[in-house]
């Protein structure tokens, strides 16, 4: 008795995806039934991709149907692998891995820019192909809430393949894993696929961070990978809020701390208000915990993709509270977020004055100086230096601005 | 069929539908001589002195025009996919037992699918005009008896005035007309703005029939079509479906990728120094083009720059620019939404133009070459910047040429296009069908970067210090191929089903039958 395994999506409205059905049989070799919207250019290559794929997956006799709506090879491979896994639930099926693109192997750093991070649903290939052109600081392929329970297996295979094949340019390669314990099984394929940041959803304890840390380090060691993989826990519950500091300090891999509001407010029995007073404590808590641990506090997503003015106000407020980044769910939000996290000309100029005046004062052996009517002391200078750093990163100021100033 | 290689290296037939044809010789190389065609001399003796040229039906009008087998009938695409007249003309011809007509539309649309039946039953022999949808498929599959001939809007005017195409009967659907035949497109229940595509037909055809659903007493003011060129006027209930003629609201693309392409296009124009006081630009009504116009508008506002004129395809966005003082004039070839129609009717600075003024290559100049910048679509571009706009990558006839070839004459021609669509690369080694020579196409703006034609060192220099993502076309192509895989060569049959004319009437490429 054989089961038919299917994966992917079919129908006229589907784009950049395909639908695969695999039915293992006793004899007769592989019987193909391939329909492709791009067959006039890729019929032969699709057929050999499927044929080679089945061989690697260990299938010699099967009926295979493919309905392709212009899926890229890594997508076809992912759907094929998932279909075979579903057809053979009790068999050990090998991974059908696309070749690693050298462009995916760029390292990241602890303190790099994380102003914007764009969430993409992990089982939807069409959004992944061009996402880098919108230049978010990070791209999150999501395995958690945007993927329905029955597609979790398919999404993991697709996200793994996407990470192996797609060069995201300068965007940091992030995945939001599933909640533990399921998420722990996802670590190895993702680490091998050159993920750089794992977001741990609904994180409530240091223990959970430690479990993920162990899994990451084991996977890196097994695969002999040199580049670091960092963690960004997402706190989404009152208990997690109380444990925010220990979560932030749990592991040297944690580089940033963020939070989610929907579940948190539901657990509070709170209500969303326009002023967002219901989450002020939580936001402050996250920022304080992150700062105390020396990592980046990052704000949650802004859900209204139609209202860019409201988004800008929201980001300015987040920045004022101390956040360094914001989540987004639509590419058009990215430039608004970047702009709001970029110091204005006025702020940059002010920071320049402060830093220059202070250095002048230090040369004269003083630790306090006044610029205009304001007194400048070390904490103010530290703030100004942060502003300068932001301005340089945003291209508003040259990194050698001081030398230029002197010359 | 004898085929020769033209100056673009494409094989083209030396004879098209029984008449000798000139292969493309290169841009600006074919200079014809002689006189233009002329309509026949008429006498008022044959027309009612009271000016009432009404006849009861299209069928009656065709009969009185002396319709015969093998004649050429023309119609116009002002009503786009909402046209109700062309199909009635061929139904009437069928009832009269006429065979082997040549349909010479300014463009055809999916609503003209019934013409396929008339080709099967022999009433229509072939279509000379752009074909898409079901008609495009019919021709691409080799079912049409004669060869399709695809021309630009300017090329259509040129073909008529040069005598290359002789129109026996022109049928002009008019949103408002009087019994004398004066007609306008800017008012009436089927208002479409203007009737510029029918102007040449009204001047050069042997017989001209006006069909209207909004008859007004003489005089119809303004008259975009002169009644003095008209033989008969037919009044019917409905000539078009308004919501398919112009859209109530125009849709801007919501695709973030397309928006980015549109924004980069506008930024290129600004950074290259093209956007300056007194400049002119043209863009279409596609979703990306509209978004481009909006980004450009905002940049113009910010920089305090005013355009001398906008060439359109107008929509409410160009109208807003005119009304907000961001442009002195709109020189309009067709209106795409109700705001465009209203503005053309009410605003003396919103001017209706025709392919003669805008595009005709065999004239004493035209507007197209005066444009500072145009943004156009394309289905494929090759690494020599040659572009295709009529066939899909599978070889099927997909689009008309429209004004596309004519617009290439502008000072800066930009194609904002995605680098691939559903795994199908848009940048290719060799375009399936050549419609525009690469020497006229200056910039490709894709989501993966901007490629400037190496022939335009001036543009390369102009933006070299900007932060625009300038790359070579080869780099963008290589990146796409690394994602999509290298496509195999498209297999088409040897049979030619249509030819593509260049703006000077020569043949630039052949369209082949698809398997």
B110-143 pLDDT, tens per residue? Answer: 999 999 999 999 999 999 998 888 999 999 999 9
Report DSSP state, residue B514.
Answer: P
- For residue A179, with 0-12 CB atoms within 10 Å meaning exposed, 13-18 middle and 19 or more buried, which class applies? middle
Say whether pLDDT at A315 is over 60.
yes
Three-class SS string for A162-212? HHHHCCCCCCEEEEECCCCCHHHHHHHHHHHCCCCEEEECCCCCHHHHHHH
For residue B133, how many other CB atoms are within 10 A of its CB? 16
User: By the 8 A CB rule, do A269 and A275 touch?
Assistant: no
* Tokens found for residue B42: 């008429």
Closest CA to B79 of B307, B232, B239, B218: B239
Q: Residue A382 — very low, low, confident or very high, per pLDDT cuts 50/70/90? A: confident
Q: Long-range pairs for A89-96 at CB < 8 Å and ≥24 separation?
A: A89/A3, A93/A57, A93/A58, A94/A56, A94/A57, A94/A58, A95/A160, A95/A189, A96/A53, A96/A56, A96/A57
- The ipTM estimated for the assembled molecules is 0.90
Q: Is A44 within 8 Å of chain B by CB?
A: yes
Residues of B in contact with A70 (CB under 8 A): 421-424
With CA atoms as reference, the chain B residue closest to A125 would be B422
Alpha-carbon distance A330 to A332, whole Å? 6
SS3 A371: strand
Q: Is A166 within 8 Å of chain B by CB?
A: yes
Element (H, E) at B258: helix B256-271
Bridge partners of A30, per DSSP, are A62
Order of strands, edge to edge, in the sheet holding A30-36? A5-8, A18-24, A62-68, A30-36
User: By the 8 A CB rule, do A17 and A125 touch?
Assistant: yes
With CA atoms as reference, the chain A residue closest to B254 would be A332
DSSP E strand stretches across B251-320: 280-283, 307-314
Alpha-carbon distance B69 to B97, whole Å? 9
Whether residue B260 and residue A38 make contact (CB cut-off 8 A), yes or no, is no
B257 to chain A nearest CA, in Å? 7
Alpha-carbon distance B107 to B130, whole Å? 5
* Tokens found for residue B174: 């008019």
Q: Which of B395, B422, B447 sits opposite A16 (nearest CB)?
A: B422
In this predicted structure, what is the pLDDT of residue B92?
Answer: 98
B395 to chain A nearest CA, in Å? 10
Bridge partners of A172, per DSSP, are A138
**B47-128+165-245 and B256-491 in the same fold:** yes
Alpha-carbon distance B339 to B316, whole Å? 5
Say whether pLDDT at A322 is over 60.
yes
Residues of B in contact with A330 (CB under 8 A): 256
Whether residue B260 and residue A40 make contact (CB cut-off 8 A), yes or no, is no
A219-231 tens-digit pLDDT: 999 999 989 999 9
Dihedral sign computed on CA atoms, order A185, A191, A195, A199:
positive
Q: Residue A75 — very low, low, confident or very high, per pLDDT cuts 50/70/90? A: very high
Q: Which of A71, A73, A332 sits opposite B256 (nearest CB)?
A: A332
Dihedral sign computed on CA atoms, order B127, B130, B133, B137:
positive
* Tokens found for residue A106: 């760029």
For residue B506, how many other CB atoms are within 10 A of its CB? 20
Report DSSP state, residue B7.
Answer: T
Q: Which domains does chain A have, with CATH numbers?
A: 5-87 (3.30.230), 102-340 (3.20.20.60), 345-406 (no CATH)
Say whether pLDDT at A360 is over 70.
yes
User: By the 8 A CB rule, do A109 and A28 touch?
Assistant: no
Q: Residue A309 — very low, low, confident or very high, per pLDDT cuts 50/70/90? A: very high
| Mutation target among A43, A44, A68, A130 for the B interface, most CBs of B within 10 A | A130
Report DSSP state, residue B240.
Answer: B
Alpha-carbon distance B357 to B335, whole Å? 17
Q: Is A48 within 8 Å of chain B by CB?
A: no
User: By the 8 A CB rule, do B206 and B167 touch?
Assistant: yes
With CA atoms as reference, the chain A residue closest to B488 would be A41
Residues of B in contact with A42 (CB under 8 A): 423, 485, 487-488
Alpha-carbon distance B485 to B249, whole Å? 39
B478-512 tens-digit pLDDT: 999 999 999 999 999 999 999 999 999 999 999 99
Q: Which of A133, A166, A331 sits opposite B448 (nearest CB)?
A: A133
User: By the 8 A CB rule, do A257 and A286 touch?
Assistant: yes
Cα dist from B434 to B137, B181, B378, B399, whole Å: 19, 40, 11, 13
Alpha-carbon distance B494 to B507, whole Å? 17
Residues of A in contact with B488 (CB under 8 A): 41-45
For residue B5, how many other CB atoms are within 10 A of its CB? 10
Alpha-carbon distance B166 to B204, whole Å? 8
Terminal CA-CA length for chain A: 82
Say whether pLDDT at A181 is over 60.
yes
Residues 6 or more apart in contact with residue B484 via CB below 8 angstroms: A72, B420, B423, B424, B425
What percentage of chain A exceeds 70 in pLDDT? Answer: 99
Confirm whether pTM is higher than 0.90. Answer: yes
| Mutation target among B253, B254, B256 for the A interface, most CBs of A within 10 A | B256
Q: Give domain B256-491's CATH architecture.
A: 3-Layer(aba) Sandwich (3.40)
Say whether pLDDT at A407 is over 60.
no
Whether residue B488 and residue A15 make contact (CB cut-off 8 A), yes or no, is no
DSSP E strand stretches across B276-368: 280-283, 307-314, 327-335, 350-352
Q: Residue A405 — very low, low, confident or very high, per pLDDT cuts 50/70/90? A: low
Closest CA to B104 of B176, B41, B157, B36: B157
* Tokens found for residue B95: 């009832």
Whether residue B422 and residue A165 make contact (CB cut-off 8 A), yes or no, is no
Residues of B in contact with A40 (CB under 8 A): 393-395, 490-491
Would you list the domain boundaries of chain B? 47-128+165-245, 256-491
Residues of A in contact with B482 (CB under 8 A): 101
For residue B36, how many other CB atoms are within 10 A of its CB? 12
Q: How crowded is the C-beta side of B193, counted as CA atoms within 13 Å?
A: 34
Order of strands, edge to edge, in the sheet holding B148-150? B148-150, B496-501, B507-512
Report DSSP state, residue B40.
Answer: P
Asked if the bond preceding A105 is cis, omega within 30° of 0, the reply is no
Cα dist from B423 to A128, A169, B471, B508, whole Å: 13, 20, 21, 28
Closest CA to B15 of B31, B1, B30, B32: B1
Angle at B503 between CA B337 and CA B358, to 5 degrees: 40
Residue A274 C-alpha from the chain's centroid: 27
Alpha-carbon distance B332 to A344, whole Å? 42
| CATH superfamily to which B47-128+165-245 belongs | Glutaconate Coenzyme A-transferase (3.40.1080.10)
Whether residue B424 and residue A16 make contact (CB cut-off 8 A), yes or no, is no
- For residue B408, with 0-12 CB atoms within 10 Å meaning exposed, 13-18 middle and 19 or more buried, which class applies? buried
Residues 6 or more apart in contact with residue A78 via CB below 8 angstroms: A7, A96, A154, A157, A158, A160, A161
In this predicted structure, what is the pLDDT of residue A1?
Answer: 56
Q: What are phi and psi of B231, to 5 degrees?
A: -90, -45
Residues of A in contact with B140 (CB under 8 A): none
Asked if the bond preceding B477 is cis, omega within 30° of 0, the reply is no
User: By the 8 A CB rule, do B408 and B441 touch?
Assistant: yes
Angle at B137 between CA B135 and CA B141, to 5 degrees: 120
Average pLDDT, rounded, for chain A: 94
Report DSSP state, residue A401.
Answer: H
Alpha-carbon distance B492 to A220, whole Å? 51
Q: Which of B260, B422, B490 sits opposite A37 (nearest CB)?
A: B422
In this predicted structure, what is the pLDDT of residue B317?
Answer: 92
Alpha-carbon distance B161 to B282, whole Å? 26
SS3 B80: helix
In this predicted structure, what is the pLDDT of residue B22?
Answer: 97
User: By the 8 A CB rule, do B180 and B64 touch?
Assistant: no
Residues 6 or more apart in contact with residue B407 via CB below 8 angstroms: B282, B359, B368, B371, B374, B376, B413
Left (φ > 0), alpha (ψ -120 to 50) or beta: where does B420 sit? beta
User: By the 8 A CB rule, do B52 and B215 touch?
Assistant: no
Tokens 């074909």 map to which residue?
B131
| pLDDT beneath 50: ranges in chain B | none
């Amino acid at each position: 008795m054989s089961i038919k395994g299917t994966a992917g999506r079919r129908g006229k409205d589907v784009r950049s995806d395909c639908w695969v059905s695999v039915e293992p049989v006793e004899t007769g070799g592989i019987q193909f039934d391939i329909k492709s919207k791009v067959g006039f250019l890729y019929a032969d290559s699709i057929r050999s991709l499927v044929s080679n794929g089945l061989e690697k997956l260990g299938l010699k006799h099967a009926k295979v149907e493919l309905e392709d709506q212009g899926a890229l090879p890594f997508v076809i491979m992912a759907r094929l692998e998932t279909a075979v896994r579903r057809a053979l639930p009790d068999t050990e099926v090998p991974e059908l891995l696309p070749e690693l693109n050298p462009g995916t192997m760029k390292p990241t750093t602890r303190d790099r820019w994380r102003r914007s991070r764009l969430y993409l649903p992990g089982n939807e290939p069409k959004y992944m192909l061009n996402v880098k052109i919108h230049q978010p600081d990070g791209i999150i392929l999501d395995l958690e809430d945007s993927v329905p329970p029955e597609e979790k297996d398919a999404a993991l295979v697709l996200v793994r393949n996407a990470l192996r094949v797609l060069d995201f340019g300068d965007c940091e390669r992030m995945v939001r894993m599933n909640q533990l314990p399921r998420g722990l099984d996802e670590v190895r394929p993702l680490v091998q696929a050159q993920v750089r940041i794992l977001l741990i959803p609904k994180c409530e304890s240091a223990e959970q961070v430690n479990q993920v840390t162990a899994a990451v380090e084991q996977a890196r060691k097994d695969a002999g990978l040199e580049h670091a993989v960092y963690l960004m826990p997402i706190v989404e519950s009152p208990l997690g809020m109380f444990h925010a500091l220990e979560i932030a300090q749990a592991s040297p891999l944690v580089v940033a701390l963020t939070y989610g509001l929907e579940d948190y407010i539901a657990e509070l029995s709170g209500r969303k208000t326009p002023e967002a007073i219901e989450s002020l404590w939580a936001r402050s808590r996250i920022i304080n915990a992150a700062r105390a641990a020396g990592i980046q506090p990052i704000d949650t997503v802004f859900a209204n993709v139609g209202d860019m003015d409201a988004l800008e106000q929201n980001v300015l407020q987040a920045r004022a509270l101390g956040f360094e980044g914001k989540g987004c769910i639509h590419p058009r939000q990215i430039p608004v977020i970047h702009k709001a996290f970029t110091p204005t000309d006025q702020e940059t100029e002010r920071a320049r004055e402060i830093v220059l005046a202070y250095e002048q004062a230090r040369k004269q052996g003083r630790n306090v100086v006044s610029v205009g009517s304001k007194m400048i002391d070390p904490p103010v200078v530290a703030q100004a230096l942060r502003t300068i750093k932001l301005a340089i990163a945003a291209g508003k100021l040259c990194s050698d601005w001081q030398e230029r100033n002197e010359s | 069929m004898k085929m020769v290689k033209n100056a673009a290296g494409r094989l083209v037939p030396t004879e098209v539908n029984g008449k000798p044809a000139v292969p493309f010789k290169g841009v600006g190389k074919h200079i014809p001589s002689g006189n233009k065609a002329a309509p026949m001399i008429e006498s008022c003796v044959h027309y009612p002195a009271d000016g009432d040229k009404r006849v009861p039906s299209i069928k009656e009008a065709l009969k009185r025009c002396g319709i015969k087998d093998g004649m050429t009938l023309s119609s116009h695409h002002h009503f786009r996919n909402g046209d109700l007249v062309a199909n009635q003309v061929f139904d009437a011809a069928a009832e009269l037992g006429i065979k082997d007509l040549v349909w010479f539309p300014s463009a055809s649309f999916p609503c003209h699918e019934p013409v396929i039946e008339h080709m099967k039953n022999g009433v229509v022999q072939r279509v000379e005009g752009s074909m898409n949808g079901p008609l495009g498929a019919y021709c691409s599959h080799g079912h049409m008896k004669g060869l399709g001939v695809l021309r630009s809007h300017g090329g259509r005017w040129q073909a008529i005035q040069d005598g290359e195409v002789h129109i026996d009967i022109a049928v002009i659907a008019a949103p408002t007309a009087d019994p004398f035949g004066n007609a306008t497109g800017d008012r009436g229940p089927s208002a479409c703005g203007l009737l510029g595509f029918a102007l040449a037909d009204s001047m050069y055809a042997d017989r001209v029939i006006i069909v209207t659903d909004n008859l007004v007493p003489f005089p119809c003011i303004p008259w975009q079509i002169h009644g003095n060129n008209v033989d008969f006027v037919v009044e019917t209930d409905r000539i078009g479906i308004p919501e398919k003629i112009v859209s109530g609201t125009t849709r801007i693309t919501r695709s973030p990728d397309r928006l980015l392409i549109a924004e980069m296009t506008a930024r290129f124009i600004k950074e290259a120094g093209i956007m300056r006081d007194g400049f002119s630009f043209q863009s279409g009504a596609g979703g990306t083009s509209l978004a481009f116009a909006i980004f450009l508008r905002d940049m113009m506002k910010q920089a305090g720059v005013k355009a001398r004129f906008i060439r359109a395809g107008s929509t409410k966005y160009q109208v807003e620019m005119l009304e907000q003082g961001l442009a002195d004039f709109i020189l309009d070839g067709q209106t795409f939404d109700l705001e465009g129609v209203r503005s053309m009717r009410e605003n003396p600075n919103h001017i209706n133009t025709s392919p003669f003024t805008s595009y005709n290559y065999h004239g004493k100049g035209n507007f197209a070459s005066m444009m500072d910048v145009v943004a156009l679509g394309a289905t494929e571009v090759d690494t020599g910047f040659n572009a295709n706009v009529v066939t899909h990558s599978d070889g099927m006839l997909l689009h008309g040429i429209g004004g596309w070839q004519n617009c290439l004459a502008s000072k800066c021609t930009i194609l904002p296009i995605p680098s691939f669509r559903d795994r199908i690369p848009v940048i290719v080694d060799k375009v399936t069908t050549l419609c525009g020579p690469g020497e006229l196409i200056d910039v490709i703006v894709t989501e993966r970067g901007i490629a400037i034609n190496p022939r335009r060192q001036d543009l390369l220099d102009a933006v070299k210090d900007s932060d625009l993502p300038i790359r070579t076309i080869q780099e963008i192509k290589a990146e796409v191929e690394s994602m999509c895989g290298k496509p195999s060569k498209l297999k088409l049959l040897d049979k030619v089903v249509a030819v593509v004319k260049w703006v000077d009437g020569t043949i630039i490429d052949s369209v082949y039958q698809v398997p």
